[in-house]
Amino acid sequence: MVDLEAVIGLEIHAQLKTKTKLFCACPLDSGAEPNTNICEVCAGQPGALPRLNAKAVELAAKAGLALGCQVNASSLFARKNYTYPDLPNGFQTSQVDPPICLGGVLEIAAPDGPKTVRLNRIHLEDDAGKCVHDEKRGKTLVDLNRAGTPLIEIVTEPDLSSSAEAVTFLKKLHELLVDLEVTEGRLEEGEFRCDVNVSLRPKGASRLGVRSEVKNLNSFRFVGQAIDSEIRRQTGLYRDGEPVLQETLHFDSASCATRTLRSKEEAHDYRYFPQPDLPPVQVDEALLAALKASLPAGRELTRERLAGLGLGEEQIRLLLDRRGAVEHFDQTVAAGGEPKRVAGLMAELFLPACAKAELSPASAVFGPAGLAALATLLDEDQLGRRAAFVIFDELFSTGDDPRDLARRRGLLQISDAGALADLAAEVLADHPAEVEKYRLGQEKILGFLIGQLMRRSGGAADPKGAGRILSDLIKAGQ
């Protein structure tokens, strides 16, 4: 049998982080009693009309900017018609042509190396309510609190080829949108959910196979399992020479398998047409400029910037993974710390201490100024690495000045060239025999001379500097 490859595309629904619903002033509150956060607009009462939440438009445009989309100056809402008890108007208000954002990309670290996943579009739409099935009373009840909740739907091109890639992509997208405060992204609340489209084709073929769509997955694990299950099922069909049917599937997490929700014949004809109750959605230049300015650098840009400062991959990862770490790093560098040294200190000492104390970087009493001072002591060889480890816990818990503490502990090294040179001259004058041996090529004897110098300095001299100065003086005396 020919080798098959999977072609996967995703449709992600993310709930926007607004205070109110997309088309009315009702609050978004997932914990409220059923049907308390509703009004005539979101409950579909006759005669009520929608009015667009400007914050939702901003957040959708912001997501588009961060994902490299083209943000349209004017886009349109459309009615997507279907009937279900939790859909109060009998249509969903969504966008078709043009949506608020087109195109875009997201780079991911796929198992076989970096991969660019293209986005098709981002559009705005409202969420439906919920049906609650009351088994005891044998009734289905409708709760419209969620109806009218603002969502963006992000549609990818079919650029993914495995469950691992899809999950990597989703995690990265989730992290980005949460960081941007476009969404709260609480998966357990359904604030970030995904439909996956899966098809198979002979490896290397350009034509797409028939796809199936698995709806409404609200955990990364389920996405992975659903894709794997679909690939297994479709592979089986290919092996048996059976056709793959275009259908919509439901993933049952208990059995880890998909089952048919509706076939192609039963697919809805949504009868999209322009929503006459809403004028075009405008995103003007001023708003775009303001959004661009407000955009935090974004993870990818931050990664590039940190790499440009010479930080190692592992250090970058550690900084990116902890909320507030990059900001703390930047403040420390601004306070005079050398970037690589600061990153090393944060990775080895500061961040682990934060984790242990369950503190965010910003709330640690040992602030950026202290960390910068510590980095400088190390850089200038006034403090040894081992000494830094010894005093760090105390610094972290008290917020003391590193130089003061090091001095009090007698750990400060003399690396001042003048002071060292005086001591070195004394040592050389007291040990002419050893100096002579060194001159004749017995370089190991330098260690003895350094030891003498260290003793004279009371252990405060920087041994590296001392060695350099001693050998320089001997050579100069020839």
Partner 1 sequence: MTELWRLTLVEAGQGLRKKEFSALELVEACLERLKATEPLVDACLTVLEEPARRRAAELDAAGWDPQKPLWGLPLTLKDVFCLSGAPTTAGSRILEGWKPPYEATVVKRLKQAGAIIVAKTNCDEFAMGSSTEFSAFKPTKNPWNLQRVPGGSSGGAAASVAARQTPGAFGTDTGGSIRQPAALCGCVGLKPTYGRVSRYGIVAYGSSFDQAGPLARSAADCALLLAATAGPDGLDSTASLHPVDDYVGAAEKKPGELTLGLPRELWEGDFAPETGQTLDEAKRRLTAAGVKLKELSLPSLRFSVAAYYVLASAEASTNLARYDGVRYGRRAPGPEDLRDLYVRSRTEGLGPEVRRRILLGTFVLSSGYYDAYFRKAAQVRRLIQQDWQAALQRCDLLLAPVSSVQAWPLGAFIDDPLTTYQLDMMTLPLNLAGGPGLSLPAGLGADGLPVGVQLLGRAFDEAALLAAGRTLERLLPPVGEPPLAA
Q: Where do contacts with partner 1 occur on this chain (CB under 8 A)? A: 39-40, 43-52, 79, 81, 83, 85, 88-91, 142, 269, 271-273, 276-279
CB nearer to partner 1: pick between 46 and 418: 46
CB nearer to partner 1: pick between 26 and 372: 26
Q: Minimum distance from CB of 79 to partner 1 (Å)?
A: 5
Q: Minimum distance from CB of 269 to partner 1 (Å)?
A: 5
Contact call for residues 233 and 247 (beta carbons, < 8 A): no
Q: 113-126 and 150-156: which strand pairing?
A: antiparallel
Q: How far apart are CA 226 and CA 182, in angstroms?
A: 27
Nearest residue to 118 (alpha-carbon basis) of 209, 39, 10: 10
Q: List, in sequence order, every residue forming a beta bridge with 101; answer none if it has no partner.
A: 71, 122
Q: Minimum distance from CB of 97 to partner 1 (Å)?
A: 12
Q: Minimum distance from CB of 263 to partner 1 (Å)?
A: 16
Type and span of the H or E element at 262: strand 257-263
Structure tokens belonging to residue 147: 């109806």
Q: Minimum distance from CB of 147 to partner 1 (Å)?
A: 11
CB nearer to partner 1: pick between 80 and 303: 80
Contact call for residues 253 and 42 (beta carbons, < 8 A): no
Contact call for residues 396 and 445 (beta carbons, < 8 A): no
Q: How far is CA 299 from CA 1, 319, 320, 390, 452, in A?
A: 43, 11, 7, 34, 52
Q: Minimum distance from CB of 152 to partner 1 (Å)?
A: 20
CB nearer to partner 1: pick between 32 and 48: 48
Q: How far is CA 286 from CA 51, 209, 454, in A?
A: 22, 44, 66
CB nearer to partner 1: pick between 280 and 310: 280
Q: 113-126 and 101-102: which strand pairing?
A: antiparallel
Q: Minimum distance from CB of 178 to partner 1 (Å)?
A: 31
**355 CB neighbour count, 10 Å cutoff:** 10
CB nearer to partner 1: pick between 20 and 183: 20
Type and span of the H or E element at 391: helix 385-398
Q: Minimum distance from CB of 280 to partner 1 (Å)?
A: 10
Question: Cβ-count burial of 363 within 10 angstroms (0-12 exposed, 13-18 middle, 19+ buried)?
Answer: exposed
CB nearer to partner 1: pick between 142 and 342: 142
Q: Minimum distance from CB of 242 to partner 1 (Å)?
A: 28
CB nearer to partner 1: pick between 52 and 425: 52
DSSP H helix total and E strand total for the chain: 16, 17
What is Dmax (Cα atoms) for the chain? 107
Q: How far apart are CA 383 and CA 389, in angstroms?
A: 10
Q: Minimum distance from CB of 142 to partner 1 (Å)?
A: 7
CB burial string 413-424: b at 16+ within 10 A, e below: bbbeeeebeebb
Length of the chain: 478
Q: List, in sequence order, every residue forming a beta bridge with 124; answer none if it has no partner.
A: 152
CB nearer to partner 1: pick between 140 and 398: 140
Nearest residue to 13 (alpha-carbon basis) of 229, 222, 232, 170: 170
Q: List, in sequence order, every residue forming a beta bridge with 130; answer none if it has no partner.
A: 143
CB nearer to partner 1: pick between 87 and 343: 87
CB nearer to partner 1: pick between 3 and 269: 269
Q: Minimum distance from CB of 149 to partner 1 (Å)?
A: 18
Phi-psi region of 122 (alpha: psi -120 to 50; beta: other; left: phi over 0): beta
